[in-house]
């Protein structure tokens, strides 16, 4: 059982992460049935506080909360008083007055979720839905769930699974959270990127590093392609998009080199034709749509655990 907040994948012990994934599996089985809704969080209020754009995370948190019968308030900075200069503190205190029990926050600044949790401007469970280039813990959880679903569909961890995380590691909160979580669950993680797209200090991370995708592609179980985050790039990190795609993109030639059981992942949104070709994204090996679907069950599990809902399956 996790308590308090979920700010980082590092907040979770291995047992807590495995329990959460097992709760998510149970919830997925229930909501895949004809009655998608559980009364578990009736009377609770979940606020989606999004200062940055999102499709998958915002919609899946909203769906997750509604499937657990919580009330949901969707707040987007665009069109709110934030655009008139209102501070995070005043926004948080407004949400406190509305009676929020959980705040799901996405923010462009690394550390924003932690600040909200540490300051106690609001007495609610804080869930980090992506803070700057720092972390995106529920993405890592849904990625781990998807890997287990396809390659290890039992109670065990990810020992023996080799995961390539390819591309813009420097700007990727998804990569950071996945390294923390997947290695904790026993996976071998290899970061594959040009040196310019690796963060300072990456040598201290519990991963292998490679600059050469072709030397790695045949010996992995999972290839997780990352979006090139052009919006976070003030400088030029590679000569041209064509050159990047040629050296680090997943295309049909590389797809053909993957082992029979290997899977292709991408957190989305994708730059089709840049880090991943359209045929790779749509190939039978691609589990990208499963990742999106699994996001709902995993976020239901997180809300369920943090808000201490009634027992799963309780139909009263
Ligand atoms: N993977 C992910 O965080 O997608 P969104 O930006 O659409 O939420």
**Shared-domain flag, residues 106 and 144:** no
Q: Does residue 310 register a pLDDT over 90?
A: no
Is residue 315 predicted with pLDDT exceeding 50? no
Q: Nearest Cα to 81, choosing from 71, 95, 70?
A: 95
- Which residue out of 44, 115, 134, 136 is catalytically annotated? 136
Among 51, 53, 54, name the best residue to mutate to test ligand 1's pocket (greatest count of ligand atoms within 8 A of Cβ).
Answer: 54
Check if 136 is active-site.
yes
The overall average pLDDT reported for the chain is 93
Q: Residue 73 — very low, low, confident or very high, per pLDDT cuts 50/70/90?
A: very high
Question: According to the model, what pLDDT value does residue 31 have?
Answer: 85
Amino acid 312: pLDDT: 55
Q: Please indicate, yes or no, whether the overall pTM of this predicted structure exceeds 0.75.
A: yes
**Given this model, what pLDDT does residue 1 score?**
67
| Ligand 1 atom, smallest distance to 136 CA | 3
The active-site residue, picked from 106, 107, 173, 176, is 106
Give the tens place of pLDDT for each residue, 240-262. 889 999 999 999 999 999 999 99
pLDDT 10s digits, 18-67: 999 999 999 999 888 888 899 999 999 999 999 999 999 999 999 999 99
Q: Which atom of ligand 1 is nearest to the CA of 58?
A: 8
Q: Domain for residue 40, yes or no?
A: yes
Q: Which atom of ligand 1 is nearest to the CA of 129?
A: 3
In a domain, 90, yes or no: yes
Per the annotation, the verdict on 162 as an active-site residue is no
Q: Which domain holds residue 56?
A: 9-136+293-307
107 and 162 part of one domain: no
> pLDDT tens across 123-154, in order?
999 999 999 999 999 999 999 999 999 998 77
pLDDT category at 76 given cuts 50, 70, 90 is: confident
150 catalytic, yes or no? no
The pLDDT score that the predictor gives to residue 247 is 96
Give, using CA atoms, the residue closest to atom 4 of ligand 1.
56
Active-site hit among 57, 63, 91, 138: 57
The verdict on 154 and 265 lying in the same domain is yes
Q: Whose CA is nearest to atom 3 of ligand 1?
A: 57
Are 277 and 141 found together in one domain?
Answer: yes
* From 55, 143, 178, 270, mutation site for ligand 1 pocket: most ligand atoms within 8 A of C-beta: 55
Q: How far is the CA of 178 from the centre of ligand 1 (A)?
A: 14
Q: Is 106 an active-site residue?
A: yes
pLDDT reported for residue 158:
97
In this predicted structure, the answer to whether residue 160 has a pLDDT above a threshold of 80 is yes
Q: How confident is the model at residue 313 (pLDDT cuts 50, 70, 90)?
A: low
CA of 61 to the centre of ligand 1 (A): 11
- Atom 6 of ligand 1 has which residue's CA nearest to it? 54
Q: Tell me the CATH number at 101.
A: 3.40.50.1370
Pocket test for ligand 1, best of 9, 51, 56, 294 (most atoms within 8 A of CB): 56
User: Over 50: is that where the pLDDT of 316 sits?
Assistant: no
pLDDT of 311 above 50: yes
User: Using CA positions, which residue lies closest to atom 1 of ligand 1?
Assistant: 267
User: Which residues surround ligand 1 with Cβ inside 6 Å?
Assistant: 54-57, 130, 136, 139, 267-269
158/116 same-domain check:
no
pLDDT at residue 314 in the model: 52
Report the number of distinct structural domains present in the chain: 2
At 192-244, the pLDDT tens digits run 999 999 999 999 999 999 999 999 999 999 999 999 987 777 678 887 889 99
Question: Is the domain of 71 the same as that of 189?
Answer: no
- Could you tell me if 160 and 267 lie in one domain? yes
pLDDT at res. 204: 96
Residues 162 and 281 in one domain: yes
Instruction: Judge if 126 and 149 occupy the same domain.
Output: no
Active site residue 84: yes
Position 271 pLDDT exceeds 70: yes
Same domain for 191 and 99, yes or no, is no
């Amino acid at each position: 059982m996790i308590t308090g907040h979920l700010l980082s994948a590092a907040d979770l012990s291995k047992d807590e992460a495995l329990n959460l994934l097992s709760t998510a599996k149970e919830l997925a089985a229930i909501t895949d049935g004809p009655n998608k809704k559980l009364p578990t969080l009736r009377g609770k209020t979940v606020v989606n506080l999004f200062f940055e754009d999102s499709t998958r995370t915002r919609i899946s948190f909203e769906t997750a909360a509604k499937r657990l019968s919580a009330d949901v308030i969707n707040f987007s900075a665009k069109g709110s008083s934030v655009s008139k200069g209102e501070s995070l503190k005043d926004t948080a205190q407004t949400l406190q007055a509305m009676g929020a029990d959980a705040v799901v926050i996405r923010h462009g600044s690394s550390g924003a979720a932690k600040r909200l949790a540490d300051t106690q401007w609001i007495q609610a469970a804080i869930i980090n839905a992506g803070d700057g280039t720092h972390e995106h813990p529920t993405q890592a959880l849904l990625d781990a769930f998807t890997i287990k679903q396809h390659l290890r569909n039992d109670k065990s961890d990810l020992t023996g699974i080799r995961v390539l995380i390819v591309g813009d590691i420097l700007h990727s909160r998804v990569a950071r959270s996945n390294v923390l979580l997947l290695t904790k669950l026993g996976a071998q993680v290899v970061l594959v990127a040009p040196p310019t797209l690796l963060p300072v200090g990456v040598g201290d991370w519990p991963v292998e590093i490679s600059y050469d995708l072709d030397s790695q592609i045949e010996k992995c179980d999972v290839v997780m392609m990352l979006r090139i985050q052009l919006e976070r790039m003030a400088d030029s990190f590679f000569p041209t998009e064509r050159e990047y795609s040629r050296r680090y993109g997943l295309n049909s030639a590389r797809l053909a080199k993957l082992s029979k059981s290997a899977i292709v992942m991408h957190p989305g949104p994708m730059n089709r034709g840049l880090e991943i070709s359209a045929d790779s994204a749509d190939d039978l090996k691609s589990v990208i749509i499963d990742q999106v679907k699994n996001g709902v069950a995993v976020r239901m599990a997180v809300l369920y655990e943090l808000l201490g809902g009634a027992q799963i399956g309780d139909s009263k």
